Chain A
């Protein structure tokens, strides 16, 4: 394949988009959850039958459609019938879909999953789905992740092109300053500022790193992006690398996500063949290569300095900051680390400009956020909403409330570093600030719904247990404090504790927050403090 130039990219985009529009298709959601639910035999039988019956339909593989509760999912778009998403499709159902819907144009109404997809035109760049708005997930469930053509047809690599030809590195920083994009991994640090600091440090080499070590149990948006739309992360990496002046990028991905690893590796190869990764990208003097490195099951490696240690082939223990990675990171060189979701925003921002992005969201928190809504909720799945949407809208309107009419008690956001938010606060608009005021954090975007059956002391114990197991043991406040918290919580659960034990628990929490070396230890008390804040009565009810 010949290396692309800027002009050729544009021609390809319109050519691919045209051929894509004219085709009828059947899509099967084939991310990890789809495959786990049985999507592979469905895809196989659809391919075989379409070939046997000589139907003029493309059978496509795609990533996560966001409706995880109804996997395996099959979406059908053929001339003469509405575009429909079918849920819980087994092999028999797949054959019925071919017989009825594809061949005769009759919708099988009993299997339809209500979707906001209806009426979305192919090629429309930012689909608006009811209360949802898809920027990060713009291509997930639409493109075949193994085809760079699909990504380009939907405006992919346009942002990179604009960065290289119209903006320049300083211009990129300016666009992202205007956009107000903040880190989606949890802390919410302004992305442009991180890039600027790395750019300003002089060094022979610099590194751009993508943090795909999604360790928060209950969050899987990064996996879904890497599996469903790997090129969006690659484009984001290239734009960031260009802005900071890096020529080498690393994807650090959890080893527990083998499908994501395969798809990213394949996507890098394709991009390299087309001249979008490697030497002289799009014919310019910007050169940048990328590689995938695997994590090995350590939650603490989501912390920047621990991640860097792991990339160097060492134990993933954090070190004190400063110096920040922007000054001294991988192999002592200035390095910039961004989360997958952050990077997936970069292409559209560079293409459409910072002003467009800043028009979405709240005053301080711009753009959208992806949440993995799970737990005691009717429609668990991936949801992308503009910042400022309320928790009630997410849980009740988009995800359909609880199963069986149980009363919702709270949601938990931010995983082991976050906290619980009681139902009474559900009308709060979601932003970095508002969640922090409520005693939780945005975190990576796990949102776990809990109903009246769930004991809050048990929840706190669950998260503390997680942090005790994942503490690297380097600093005493985290190593010792975590264990002591766990013991106290066990004592409370066993109804053996007295009031002074709760005072002691609070004291340990505050000590850990102040004295721990890294984010893991500093935030490990959050689940305890937030459950104490809103549900102290549940603790008290267990006192002896």
Chain B
């Protein structure tokens, strides 16, 4: 992934944030939204543009759960393991998704097709248990739905 470079519209937005104090996290959000993760080359450019050491950027990126250093899969499956979902059987859903995809928490399939992760509460506790598939929240999911969910995502492409 060494060929990833910062696209002009991102560098413009970053320049805008540079004028504001303490906005490194906001600039990183712009990067993550664009690429789905924080590529190393982009971090290098960001360090220059924002005039902060590269170490500072990595210090921040590795602290917060929201930022990724690895590219995500084409389909991203997040299983909510917040309290309400947990009580309503989310661990079983997570297990069956792990089995269907052959992945552990945070893993990506070899072909880059699926990325599976657990998240802590997406704030839809009334619809528990929920799974977020490529940004879309699926409500009242059952463990038996795992195959269906992944098959539908593949079909959509």
B contact residues around A256 at 8 Å (CB) = 66, 119, 121-123
Query: Do B125 and A296 touch across chains, with their CB atoms under 8 A apart?
Result: no
Interface-lining segment among A42-50, A77-85, A306-314, A425-433: A306-314
**A 18-70 contacts with B by CB, 8 A:** 32-33, 35-37, 68-69
Confirm or deny: A356 has a beta carbon within 8 angstroms of a beta carbon on chain B. Answer: no
Query: Do B67 and A376 touch across chains, with their CB atoms under 8 A apart?
Result: no
The verdict on A298 contacting B87 (CB below 8 Å), with A36-B130, A466-B120 known, is: no
Confirm or deny: A159 has a beta carbon within 8 angstroms of a beta carbon on chain B. Answer: no
Confirm or deny: B153 has a beta carbon within 8 angstroms of a beta carbon on chain A. Answer: no
Query: Do A297 and B65 touch across chains, with their CB atoms under 8 A apart?
Result: yes
Q: How far is the CB of B36 from chain A (nearest CB, A)?
A: 14
The verdict on A71 contacting B126 (CB below 8 Å), with A294-B25, A462-B86, A466-B120 known, is: yes
Confirm or deny: B116 has a beta carbon within 8 angstroms of a beta carbon on chain A. Answer: no
Query: Do B83 and A33 touch across chains, with their CB atoms under 8 A apart?
Result: no
Contact with B along A362-402 (1 / 0, CB 8 A): 00000000001011100011000000000000000000000
Query: Do B64 and A223 touch across chains, with their CB atoms under 8 A apart?
Result: no
Query: Do B139 and A297 touch across chains, with their CB atoms under 8 A apart?
Result: no
Confirm or deny: A525 has a beta carbon within 8 angstroms of a beta carbon on chain B. Answer: no
The verdict on A223 contacting B24 (CB below 8 Å), with A36-B130, A218-B84, A448-B83 known, is: no
Confirm or deny: A76 has a beta carbon within 8 angstroms of a beta carbon on chain B. Answer: no
Query: Do B63 and A218 touch across chains, with their CB atoms under 8 A apart?
Result: no
**B 105-157 contacts with A by CB, 8 A:** 119-128, 130, 136-139
> Which of A217, A294, A469 contacts B121, CB < 8 Å?
A217
The verdict on A68 contacting B59 (CB below 8 Å), with A296-B65, A313-B25 known, is: no
| Closest residue on chain B to residue A380 by CB atoms | B126
Query: Do B127 and A298 touch across chains, with their CB atoms under 8 A apart?
Result: no
Confirm or deny: B98 has a beta carbon within 8 angstroms of a beta carbon on chain A. Answer: no
Query: Do A294 and B139 touch across chains, with their CB atoms under 8 A apart?
Result: no
A contact residues around B128 at 8 Å (CB) = 374-375, 380
Could you tell me the dominant secondary structure of chain A's interface residues? mixed
Query: Do A293 and B26 touch across chains, with their CB atoms under 8 A apart?
Result: yes
Q: How far is the CB of B141 from chain A (nearest CB, A)?
A: 11
Query: Do A294 and B26 touch across chains, with their CB atoms under 8 A apart?
Result: yes
> How far, in angstroms, from A372 to B147 measured CA to CA in the complex?
31
Confirm or deny: A113 has a beta carbon within 8 angstroms of a beta carbon on chain B. Answer: no
Confirm or deny: A99 has a beta carbon within 8 angstroms of a beta carbon on chain B. Answer: no
Query: Do A68 and B60 touch across chains, with their CB atoms under 8 A apart?
Result: no
The verdict on A448 contacting B29 (CB below 8 Å), with A37-B127, A218-B121, A220-B125 known, is: no
- Which residue among A32, A374, A446 has the maximum number of chain B CB atoms within 10 Å of its CB? A374
> Which of A37, A257, A315 contacts B63, CB < 8 Å?
A315
> Which of A37, A375, A450 contacts B139, CB < 8 Å?
A37
> Which of A297, A314, A375 contacts B87, CB < 8 Å?
A375
B contact residues around A68 at 8 Å (CB) = 124-127
Query: Do B83 and A313 touch across chains, with their CB atoms under 8 A apart?
Result: no
Contact with B along A284-324 (1 / 0, CB 8 A): 00000001011111110000000000111111100000000
> How far, in angstroms, from A372 to B123 measured CA to CA in the complex?
10
> How far, in angstroms, from A190 to B84 measured CA to CA in the complex?
30
Query: Do B82 and A217 touch across chains, with their CB atoms under 8 A apart?
Result: yes
Contact with A along B50-91 (1 / 0, CB 8 A): 000000000110011111000000000000011110111000
A contact residues around B137 at 8 Å (CB) = 32, 35-36
Confirm or deny: B23 has a beta carbon within 8 angstroms of a beta carbon on chain A. Answer: yes
> How far, in angstroms, from A33 to B122 measured CA to CA in the complex?
10
> How far, in angstroms, from A312 to B24 measured CA to CA in the complex?
8
- Which residue among B59, B119, B124, B130 has the maximum number of chain A CB atoms within 10 Å of its CB? B124
| Closest residue on chain A to residue B132 by CB atoms | A36
The verdict on A462 contacting B64 (CB below 8 Å), with A294-B25, A296-B29 known, is: no
Confirm or deny: B8 has a beta carbon within 8 angstroms of a beta carbon on chain A. Answer: no
The verdict on A298 contacting B25 (CB below 8 Å), with A217-B120, A415-B83 known, is: no
Given contacts A68-B124, A296-B28, A297-B65, 16 further A-B contacts (CB under 8 A): A33-B124, A33-B126, A68-B127, A218-B83, A255-B66, A294-B25, A296-B29, A296-B67, A298-B64, A311-B22, A374-B125, A374-B126, A376-B88, A446-B83, A448-B87, A462-B83
Query: Which A-B residue pairs are the 7 nearest by beta carbons?
Result: A68-B126, A217-B82, A36-B137, A296-B64, A297-B65, A217-B121, A313-B24
